[in-house]
Amino acid sequence: MAPVRTLSALTEADIAATRSANPDAFGNSRKSLLIYAAWASVFVYLAFAFIYFDFGRIFEPSENAQRLLRAMFRWEDMETWQYANIYRGIAETLAMAFLGTFLASLVALVVGFLAARNIVRFGLFRHTVRRILDVFRGIDQLVWALVFVRAVGLGPLAGVLAIFISDIGTLSKLYSEAIENIDRKQVEGIRSTGAGPVRTIRFGILPQVLPVFLSQSLYFLESNTRSATSLGIVGAGGIGMIIIERFRATLYDQVVFVVINVLILVAIIDWVSKKIRMKFIGEVGE
């Protein structure tokens, strides 16, 4: 190709030559077709979904919806709200989350070791433990809550059990992964002094994994406080039950008030757990 001196000196042939010399610089027609096809399929799917799920209903909300929207911003008769009741519900939610997380952490402390490859050499046993944990984890916390409400009745006990069971699954898995990632040297050092298995775990492994365990349990406390609200909605005690009760009684302003309070509670727990992590773990634990 002859060197181009001015832009107007470019002929059609020059442009074509440059294009064919650098095919990627001007967009690959097959690739762009693929991208267009992807976008088209997304839009076709969305169009289908909008019809299939009848999205038109969004624009014709019921009379109640407008009342709900109004009540969200206009709070009435605030002196008659049963604040003691509301804050007892919030305390109950916190208690459920705390107890559930604590008990699950205790169990996970043992089960985590049983599911760790470098502790339990016997594969069959380890895999059995892991599959049981998978089942605990695979079923959603809310489903556990519904099952426990059915089994032990309405109230916070069902919520604690639901958090407990589903967190055993998740926390044990996380704990066992932390145990599998430890530094071997410290363990070998302890073992070389003639320590038995229990002491090896106590002085060789625990000091390495405890900060990680604590940090993960704190994260779970926070997330459980959040989810304990949902548990109440299916009847497992706590603030969720108060929310649904007020909702059924069409006291939407109180629902909004309670939700704001829950958000504040979660923010406080977030802040406290951050402080505790900093205090005990420093920069080590994530």
Partner 1 sequence: MAVTTTPLTETGHPQDPVSIYEKHRTDLQRAKLGQNILFLLLFFGMLIFSIVTSQFYPERLAQAASRVFEYFGTIMPNLQWDLLFEGRDEQGRAVEGSLTFWYTDLDKYLSLIWETILMAITATLLGTAGALALCFAGSRNLMKNSWIYFFARRFMEICRGVPEILIALIFVFAFGIGPLAGILAVAIHTAGALGKLFAEVNENVSRRPIDGIRGVGGNWFEQMRYGVLPQVLPNFVSYGLLRFEINVRASSIIGFVGAGGIGQELNRVISFYSDDRVLAVLVLVVITVTLIDLLSERLRLYFIGKEQL
| Residues at the interface with partner 1 (CB under 8 A) | 42, 45-46, 49, 52-55, 57-58, 61-62, 64-65, 68, 91-92, 94-96, 98-99, 102, 135, 138-140, 142-143, 146-148, 150-152, 155-157, 159-161, 226-227, 229-230, 233-234, 237, 240, 243-244, 247, 259, 263, 266
Least spacing, CB of residue 31 vs partner 1, in Å: 12
For 159, other C-beta atoms within 10 Å of its C-beta total 35
- Residue closer to partner 1 by CB (options 179, 262) is 262
Least spacing, CB of residue 242 vs partner 1, in Å: 12
CA distance linking residue 107 with residue 167, whole number of Å: 10
Alpha-carbon distances of 247 from 70, 122, 253, 255, rounded to whole Å:
14, 53, 9, 6
Which residues, in sequence order, are CB contacts of 163 under 8 Å at separation 6+? 96, 97, 99, 100, 101, 104, 141, 224, 227, 228, 231
- Residue closer to partner 1 by CB (options 9, 249) is 249
- Counting Cα atoms < 13 Å in the Cβ hemisphere of 247 gives 14
Least spacing, CB of residue 281 vs partner 1, in Å: 13
Least spacing, CB of residue 122 vs partner 1, in Å: 25
Least spacing, CB of residue 15 vs partner 1, in Å: 22
- Residue closer to partner 1 by CB (options 99, 111) is 99
Distance of CA 161 to the CA centre of its chain: 18
Q: How far apart are the first and last CA of the chain?
A: 58
- Residue closer to partner 1 by CB (options 109, 157) is 157
- Residue closer to partner 1 by CB (options 114, 244) is 244
